[in-house]
Amino acid sequence: MVRPLLVALSFVALTATSALADAGDLETLRTECAAQLNLPSGACDCIAAKAGELNENQQAFLAATVTKDVATAAALRMQMGIEELTEAGMFMANSAQNCSQGG
């Protein structure tokens, strides 16, 4: 009984996160970049452009992380593999510095 419930909840989370990824995660990253990092618009555009190279789950994870949406970030962490999570983490660690230095 518990297993079907977990499968159903996982499906709902997967469906919801796919919709989130299509709903403007890159714009969220651009906006939060300006608000949280106080970087010029060119640097924030660079961050959003580079984030566009990540997959939808990674983009949604980054957007959830910067907006402190703990539930969505946790659901995405459960769906993503270690390589995806590592790549998203490295993006967060390096993108602001790289983009503020011109690219």
Q: What is the 3-state secondary structure (H, E, C) of 13-64?
A: HHHHHHHHHHCCHHHHHHHHHHHHHCCCHHHHHHHHHHHCCCCHHHHHHHHH
Distance (Å, whole) CA 102 – CA 84 = 25
pLDDT at 19: 41
Give the model confidence (pLDDT) of 30-80 as tens digits.
Answer: 999 889 888 899 999 999 999 999 999 999 999 999 999 999 999 999 999
| pTM score over 0.75 | no
Position 93 pLDDT exceeds 70: yes
- At 87 the pLDDT is 96
**Amino acid at residue number 13:** A
Please report the pLDDT score of residue 78 as a whole number: 96
What pLDDT is recorded for position 15? 40
Q: Which of 33, 6, 17, 15 is nearest to 74 (CA)?
A: 17
